[in-house]
Structure 1
Amino acid sequence: MQAIKDKINDMTSMRKAKSDARAEEKAEKDLAKARMGIAHEVRLAKEAEAAMDLHVAKADELAKREMEKQSAYADPHHENAVDLNEHPHSQRN
């Protein structure tokens, strides 16, 4: 009779140990999945930042070309001539 009780206790202990191990494994998998998601979002953010930097550089280059083109046509003696290097709303004292 005691042997049967010991066997049942051993089976219960083994079942509990397996259950705990499964729960721990699931928690580790969930953590790994979350880390993968974070890494993916970081990669996307870096790619977007690089694309934005490229667009800013392109816009800057286009603006410089346009300013050079406009300054080539500007007549400094004309009464409505504007200095393209100065912002029209800035106040210099």
Structure 2
Amino acid sequence: MQTIKEKFQDMREMREAKAEAKAEEQAEKELAKARLDVAHEVRKAREAEAEMDLHVNKAVEKADKEIAKHHELGTDEPIVGITDDRQDNLPMSSGGNPNLGTMGTTNINTNNMTNSAGADRNPKLF
């Protein structure tokens, strides 16, 4: 009878040891997966940083070219904004304002506008 009890005790200890080993293995797997995920995110961040640096370098090169072009023209300050004052290349709608492009103009007569109470003859639109 004693040997059977000892055998059951050994089986229970073996089950507990296996369960503990399995839990440790699972924890190690989760830790390894977390490390892989972190390494993947670090790699993506480095790639994004390298791409951003590339774009910054391209922008600097373009700015240097523009500055060099303006120095060739004899000006010290770069020209910023639209330099062509001609408006003939803007599309016009029928009766529209060339400064508005295809938007056209809208006239609003606010003299006859009143609110529901009728107390304010010149309502504030904004």
* Pairwise TM-score range, normalised by the shorter structure: 0.7 to 0.9
For 1:84, give the aligned amino acid: E
Q: Whose relative contact order is higher, 1 or 2, with alpha carbons under 8 Å and at least 6 apart?
A: 1
CA distance in 2, matches of 1:53, 1:22: 46
* Equivalent position of 1:10 in the other structure: 10
TM-score, structure 1 normalization: 0.77
Which residue number corresponds to residue 88 of structure 1? none
The SS at the match of 2:12 is helix
Alignment of 1:1-93 (within 5 A): 1-74=1-74, 83-84=76-77
Matched residues, number: 78
- Measure the CA separation in 2 of the matches of 1:55 and 1:14: 61
TM-score (ref. length: structure 2): 0.58
Task: Please give the per-residue CA displacement for 1:42-81, whole angstroms capped at 9, x wherever unaligned.
Answer: 1111111111111111100000101111222245xxxxxx
Q: What is the root-mean-square deviation of aligned Cα atoms in Å? A: 1.5
| Higher normalized helix content (fraction of residues) | 1
Percentage identity across paired residues of the two chains: 58
| DSSP-derived class of the 1:63 partner | helix
Identify unmatched segments of 5+ residues in structure 2. Answer: 79-126
Rounded Cα–Cα distance in structure 2 between residues aligned with 1:58 and 1:23: 52
> Greater Rg, structure 1 or structure 2?
2
Unaligned 5+ residue runs, structure 1?
76-82, 86-93
